[in-house]
Structures are given as C-alpha cells and as structure tokens.
Amino acid sequence: MKLNEEQKEILHNYEWDIINNDDGNCAWVSFTPEDGKVFGEICEQFGLTGDEEDIKLLVVATREGD
C-alpha cells in the first residue's frame, strides 16, 4: 500500500510518523488468542468477534506519546 500525498500530509499535520518500507507505507501486525488481554482489547476496540485463529491489522503510521 502506498499513501498518496494528501494522505501523507494529513498524517504529518497530526504528527504521525508514516511507515516507509519495501512494502510501501504499511506494516502488518498479527495477534492470536494466545496474546491474551491484548487480543481481547483489539477485538473490543474494532468490534471483532475473535472467532478466527488470528487478527491482522494494517498499520500505516505510528505515534508515541500524546
């Protein structure tokens, strides 16, 4: 996935760091029920059932702190 310039500008305006790697502007993160509380919180946050073997999130930007 590659973000367009408008998407990049919006993220920069909110002080997000855009992921930039060989896959473009994204990274996959996978969670399984064995991840315990984190798995449950992700299900709750995104309205997922958690009935499958894992949950994958596609991350395009990160930010640390407030």
Q: Check residue 23 and give its pLDDT.
A: 82
Instruction: Compute CA distances 53 → 5, 24, 29, 35, whole Å.
Output: 35, 27, 14, 11
pTM of the model: 0.77
Q: What is the three-class DSSP state of 57?
A: strand
Q: Check residue 66 and give its pLDDT.
A: 73
pLDDT tens-digit map of 9-66:
999 999 999 999 988 999 999 999 999 999 999 999 999 999 999 999 999 999 998 7
